[in-house]
Amino acid sequence: MDATIIIDSLPSLLKATLMTIFLAGISILIALIIGFFTAIVRILKVRIVNGIASTYVSIIRGTPLLVQIFVIYYGLSQIGLALDPISSGILALSLNAGAYLSESFRASILAVDNGQMEAAMSMGMTYSQALRRIILPQSLRIAIPTLSNSFIILIKDTSLVSVITVTELLQMSSLIIAKTFEPLTIYLLAAAIYWMLITLLTMLLDKMEARTSKHLVR
């Protein structure tokens, strides 16, 4: 490996990494909201809304993310809903991750003994109060490991938005390779950056899980 190429390429790759972090961060926040409310809707089983939520999850889980990106970026423009590449990428990543997160939330909520919900409501709590005070704190601890996997996958999936010209880490790597003709060096450097991002995220989520566990034990 040529150290000069690494030194020259690193600033551009780190700048593109900020875009990767931005895409992942915004998408995770939106996906958490989508996933949570989709899970609640499916648990409540209101016929029409539940049908929409179930269809959404089925379509997203049954089609490749790359196809979803193309549909949102190229397809929506044909019906007058043109989005810029970054917005399209965030929407695709959020919808995709939200579907998987909804399954994680739903499974973790259902894993909590239903007797606790009945006991809370018998004490005068509304369903939403019992859910917020009793069920969700317990389900969060159960969901964290699967949520961690979804977040890690989302960070790696940000590389797919390079196909719609978003200059994130992988797209920048390709641009640098076109100038330097050093694919092995640049791709290994990009891989190292991805690895560091995911390692840092994993450490943060592990600390969150440990903290949540201590809180529940108390």
Q: What are the tokens at 116? A: 């606790």
Residue 217's pLDDT band, with cuts at 50, 70 and 90, is very low
Question: In this predicted structure, what is the pLDDT of residue 139?
Answer: 85
Please compute, for residue 100, the number of CA atoms within 13 A of its CA located in the half-sphere on the CB side.
Answer: 21
Task: Give the domain range for residue 108.
Answer: 3-217
- Please report, to the nearest 10 degrees, the dihedral formed by the alpha carbons of residues 70, 73, 75, 77 taken in order: -170
Nearest to 135 by CA among 43, 49, 53, 204: 43
Say what the pTM is: 0.90
pLDDT digits 0-9 by tens, 105-157: 999 998 888 888 888 888 888 878 888 888 888 888 888 888 888 999 999 99
Q: What torsion, rounded to 10 degrees, do the Cα atoms 160, 206, 196, 99 define?
A: 0
The pLDDT score that the predictor gives to residue 89 is 97
In this prediction, residue 132 carries a pLDDT of 82
User: What pLDDT score does 23 carry?
Assistant: 97
Query: For 5-14, how does the pLDDT look when each residue is reduced to its tens digit (9 = 90+)?
Result: 999 999 999 9
Q: What is the pLDDT of residues 37-50, one digit of tens each?
A: 999 999 987 889 99
Q: What is the mean pLDDT of residues 65-75?
A: 97
Lowest mean pLDDT among 53-57, 100-104, 172-176, 209-213: 209-213
In the numeric block, the tokens 């560091």 are attached to: 196
Q: What is the mean pLDDT of the chain?
A: 91
Looking at the structure of the chain, the number of domains it has is 1
Predicted confidence band of residue 209 (pLDDT cuts 50, 70, 90): confident
Query: What pLDDT does 1 receive?
Result: 61
Which domain CATH number covers 87? 1.10.3720.10
Tokens of 195: 């690895």
Among residues 69, 135, 146, the alpha carbon closest in space to that of 102 is found at 146
More confident residue, 212 or 24: 24
Distance (Å) of CA 162 to CA 2, 20, 23, 113, 185: 26, 10, 12, 44, 19
